[in-house]
Amino acid sequence: MRQVLEEYRGLIKKRSIVMVALAIMLLSLTLFSISIGSMSLSLGKVVEVLTFIFLPSSRRMDPSLVRIIINLRLPRIIMAIIAGACLGIAGTILQVILRNPLASPYTIGVTSSAAFGAALAIILGAGIIGWMGKNIIYMNPYVVVFNAFTFSAMCSIIVAFLSLYKGTSPSATILAGIAMTYLFSAATSLLQYFGTTEQIAALVFWVFGDLGKAEWLDVSITSCIFLITLPLIMWLTGDYNALISSDEVAESLGVNVRTVRIISLIMASLLTATPIAFIGTISFIGLLAPHIARLVIGLDYRYLVPTSALIGAILLLAADTAGRTVLSPLILPVGILTAFMGVPLFLYLLLKRREGYL
Amino acid sequence: MILRVAGVCFRYGSLPVLKDVTFEVNKGEVVCILGPNGSGKTTLLRCINRLLRPYKGSVLVNERDVISLKRGEIAKIFGYVPQIEENRFPLTVFEAVMLGRKPHMGWRPSKRDFKAVSDILRDLDLEGLAMRKVSELSGGEWRKVIMARALAQEPEVLLLDEPTNHLDLKHQVEVLSLVRTLAKKKGLCVIMAMHDINLALRFSDKVIVISEGRIVFSGKVSELSPSIVERVYGIKVEVLHDGNGIPIIIPAI
Ligand SMILES: Nc1ncnc2c1ncn2[C@@H]1O[C@H](COP(=O)(O)OP(=O)(O)OP(=O)(O)O)[C@@H](O)[C@H]1O
Ligand SMILES: [Mg+2]
């Protein structure tokens, strides 16, 4: 008996070590990412500037350097971290509540409805908060953001209701999500058909997730959503563990399966819709992060949720850092990078693993 | 602890499955449910812990209707071993058994939860497998883990749907002996659906035979007559007696 407990403690210790290692990795990647760009800095300089920003002292600092870091690099990098974490967690909880290792924010239609909302604003000029006119040069980005967010929220509410109607069975939810994806894609194509070349170009530009769009306000709102949903999701992790096997087993262990599914569906939509509304669609992070996290930490959701947040953040930041360096000074949108990096990584994981879903 | 099933009727859509099922189980009693395939044994067990809702009749635990209880409360009363649990996942055996502590546990397992789990792993002789992944177990080992999970719930009523499925001769006897000992020692009610009549009779106090959703016999093990078995299963049987008053029923070929 002693021995079993010792072994279990060993397992927990190993997991903590993995999580700390990931956190260190994220931190070093962050510092590295701050250091590169049109004006490249040494790591020592980065630390110096950061201490100057966060712990103001009497030391003098080159103001243009401080401005570059505060206004250009930090919002982009922090947005990469927060958005990656949001998408990683969203994918993880969707995969367990839908009991499907291929589920991701795409599966429930959140991304295509966001694109539709953006298209509505960019092509028809119709915004939920105000009309913005046909001239895209004077476009207020927040009209697009609000539209994208509202339509993804609407889509997930529809999916939640359709699934509730069928007793929240995983397959019903996935089918509802796929139906919504097709509906919104078709509607977006219809809008594109009537759009001018510039409008379509602007829409395509929006659809490639691009972290360069991120402003401090966007970063703060996304962080708020992340910080509000995280405790609730962590509180549900015990229920997720019980849900791994089947609804029947979860219920017999005292889980209110319907409630957990609906709450999680809403949390996952919020965690996806918010970053996507600000930076555009980003593929693969929500699918890939949970798979890698399960590989390194195991299946206990109390550890899996924070780990997939860390891995989502690392993946997105790595992709964006790569996008800023490979063709520098040209910056590639991160959405394209994640797809290119994601596909081979995902195929590798699929082929390498014999078992192990959820 | 008295469990009372009173006039339970259940149907799947328009297909009636349980028809006016009534019986009682007292503290410390082991009851086996016999009946041919499709007679409604699984459905009955699932009505008892409210995985299914009967359209008529009720299930009472100490005179409280389970309909009035919350899911979490029900999970503290009923431990459930399903007939099949197909989905195998790479959780370790220790963690899978810890799932059974869910109804009692806060966010993280307490000392008591750890103790309960390690005691059960010892009782079921699963200690050697504790760190193995559930997806890498044999059918019988997995079955024992499911049993361990139900016991970890520290339930007052154990609902076992063919608990000896996939188990070898030794483990069948071991698992059922453990269940019986727990019933006597801790005053659990045990209701188990079984197909192996003789094994079931050896370890039970009472027998319920159902056929097409109706109880056709309910009484002491020694009172089960071969004519009922012949009628329900539709084959000829012979009865031997082992001297303890427990009949041994074998098909006459
Ligand atoms: N989900 C379901 N939907 C519709 N009918 C069902 C469902 N589950 C079971 N049934 C039907 O209900 C009847 C009773 O099924 P049940 O599973 O309770 O039988 P059982 O006695 O456990 O049989 P077995 O010994 O084969 O396990 C059967 O006729 C079966 O076809
Ligand atoms: Mg059955």
Query: In this structure, which residue's CA is closest to atom 3 in ligand 1?
Result: B12
Distance CA B133, CA B91 (A): 5
Cross-chain residue pair B87–A245, CB shorter than 8 Å: yes
B125: helix, strand or coil: coil
Other CB atoms within 10 A of residue A21 CB: 12
Distance CA B101, CA B117 (A): 8
Per-residue model confidence (pLDDT) at position A100: 85
Task: Decide if pLDDT at A137 tops 50.
Answer: no
DSSP string of A78-145, one letter each residue:
HHHHHHHHHHHHHHHHHHHHTT-TT--TTTTTHHHHHHHHHHIIIII-EETTEE--S-GGG--HHHHH
Which is the closest atom of ligand 1 to the Cα of B40? 18
Q: Which of B140, B56, B67, B126 has the alpha carbon at shortest distance from B97?
A: B126
- CATH code given to domain A2-351: 1.10.3470.10
pLDDT band at A203 (very low <50, low <70, confident <90, very high): confident
Per-residue model confidence (pLDDT) at position A358: 46
* A133 backbone dihedrals φ, ψ, rounded to 5°: 80, 165
Claim: this prediction has a pTM higher than 0.95? no
Task: Decide if pLDDT at A275 tops 70.
Answer: yes
Angle of CA points B61, B154, B122, to nearest 5°? 150
Distance CA A232, CA A238 (A): 11
Please tell me the distance in Å from A276's CA to the nearest CA on chain B.
31
Q: Residue A173 contacts by C-beta under 8 Å, 6 or more apart in sequence?
A: A97, A98, A108, A159, A162, A163, A261, A265
Q: Residue A97 contacts by C-beta under 8 Å, 6 or more apart in sequence?
A: A170, A173, A240, A243, A260, A261, A264, A265, A268
Burial of A44: CB neighbours in 10 Å, binned 0-12, 13-18, 19+: exposed
Cross-chain residue pair B51–A299, CB shorter than 8 Å: no
Contact between A278 and A79 (Cβ < 8 Å):
yes
Per-residue model confidence (pLDDT) at position A130: 52
Query: Out of A7, A241, A355, whose CB is closest to B131?
Result: A7
B78: helix, strand or coil: strand
Please tell me the distance in Å from A238's CA to the nearest CA on chain B.
7
Contact list in A for residue B90 (CB cut-off 8 A) is 294, 298-299, 355-356
Per-residue model confidence (pLDDT) at position A254: 95
Tens-place pLDDT, residues B174-227: 999 999 999 999 999 999 999 999 999 999 999 999 999 999 999 999 888 889
Cross-chain residue pair B91–A298, CB shorter than 8 Å: yes
Query: In this structure, which residue's CA is closest to atom 1 in ligand 1?
Result: B12
Query: In this structure, which residue's CA is closest to atom 27 in ligand 1?
Result: B37
Contact list in B for residue A235 (CB cut-off 8 A) is 107
Tens-place pLDDT, residues B17-38: 999 999 999 999 999 999 999 9
Q: Which of A300, A123, A146 has the alpha carbon at shortest distance from A200?
A: A123
Other CB atoms within 10 A of residue A170 CB: 17
Instruction: Enumerate the β-bridge partners of residue B193.
Output: B33, B161
Q: Which of B117, B123, B80 has the alpha carbon at shortest distance from B97?
A: B117
Cis peptide before A329 (omega within 30 of 0): yes
Torsion (CA) B98, B104, B107, B109 in degrees, nearest 10:
-50
Of the listed ranges A132-136, A194-198, B192-196, the one predicted with least confidence: A132-136
| A358 vs B: CB within 8 A | yes
| A238 vs B: CB within 8 A | yes
Chain B: residue nearest A99 by CA? B87
Task: Decide if pLDDT at A86 tops 70.
Answer: yes
Contact between A108 and A240 (Cβ < 8 Å):
no
Distance CA A317, CA A258 (A): 35
Every domain of chain A and the residues it spans? 2-351
Higher pLDDT, A302 or A140: A302
- Arithmetic mean of pLDDT, B86-104: 92
Among all bound ligands, the one having the nearest atom to the CA of B161 is 2
Query: In this structure, which residue's CA is closest to atom 7 in ligand 1?
Result: B12
Angle of CA points B234, B235, B240, to nearest 5°? 130
Portion of chain A with pLDDT greater than 70, in percent:
93
Query: Out of A3, A238, A299, whose CB is closest to B102?
Result: A238
| B99 vs A: CB within 8 A | yes
Task: Decide if pLDDT at A348 tops 60.
Answer: yes
Return the structure tokens found at B193. 């659906």
> Which uninterrupted H or E stretch holds B87?
none
Portion of chain B with pLDDT greater than 70, in percent:
100
Task: Decide if pLDDT at A357 tops 60.
Answer: no
Higher pLDDT, A40 or B52: B52
Q: Which of B20, B16, B14, B31 has the alpha carbon at shortest distance from B188?
A: B31
Distance CA B235, CA A55 (A): 87
Per-residue model confidence (pLDDT) at position A127: 60
Q: Which of A115, A338, A269 has the alpha carbon at shortest distance from A207?
A: A115
Cross-chain residue pair A235–B107, CB shorter than 8 Å: yes
Per-residue model confidence (pLDDT) at position A28: 95
Return the structure tokens found at A328. 């520098």
Query: Out of B72, B95, B100, whose CB is closest to A300?
Result: B95
Per-residue model confidence (pLDDT) at position B134: 92
Contact between B247 and B241 (Cβ < 8 Å):
yes
* A127 backbone dihedrals φ, ψ, rounded to 5°: -115, 150
Distance CA B232, CA A251 (A): 33
